[in-house]
Amino acid sequence: MSTEERREVKKKLRREVLARRAALTEPERERGNLLITERILGHQWYYLSDTILGFVSYGSEICTTEILENALQDGKRVYVPKVEGQEMRFYRIQSLAELKEGYKGIPEPEGNTESYEYAPEEAANCLLLMPGSVFDPLGNRMGYGGGFYDRYLADREALRLRSIAVGFRCQQVESVPVEETDVKPYQVILV
């Protein structure tokens, strides 16, 4: 399969799965949001981490608001992504109220606070949460086509070992087409 054919397959798969996710009922969505919050806040990596690299949910994504608010209340350092050109950087927030509409309408920090600086020896104190559009049982993940997390994690192996991708169970398919540049999250939790 050529690169172009693989891209088309991924686009079609992403469209189908995102349509399924968008079709979830409000009770299904609320149940998933509650379950993912419980699973992450009860996860040993959450307890062992003083730094949370989260993401701000957007559109029909599983909701991370409660997770981020709990992390702030628990005194953890919370960073969320901001897209700058082709790169993504994580900036520290003190409150979700600081976020402004950014890349593709996604709420982002302004980028004028402390940014997360990767240090392999400190990665064990971090938890990185990742969004995704499509997942498979082998832990492969597709994002939204920008490759931001793949590039971000490409040379940050110690952080990848503390990464969890989250989503709804309806986002799982039999197999995700994988490319050389794809970086698998260490865990995937679908509810």
Binding-site entries for ATP: 10-14, 141-149
**Whole-number Å distance between alpha carbons of 67 and 57:** 11
**Whole-number Å distance between alpha carbons of 59 and 177:** 24
> CA distances (Å), 102 to each of 81, 110, 178, in order?
10, 8, 28
Question: Residues within the annotated binding site?
Answer: 10-14, 56, 61, 141-149
Question: Residues within the annotated binding site for substrate?
Answer: 56, 61
**Whole-number Å distance between alpha carbons of 135 and 113:** 33
User: What does the block give as tokens for 189?
Assistant: 């939790």
Question: Which residues are CB-contacts of 170 (< 8 A; sequence separation ≥ 6)?
Answer: 17, 20, 21, 24
**Whole-number Å distance between alpha carbons of 38 and 161:** 21
What is the three-state SS of 85-122? Answer: CCEEEEEEECCHHHCEECHHHCEECCCCCCECCCCHHH
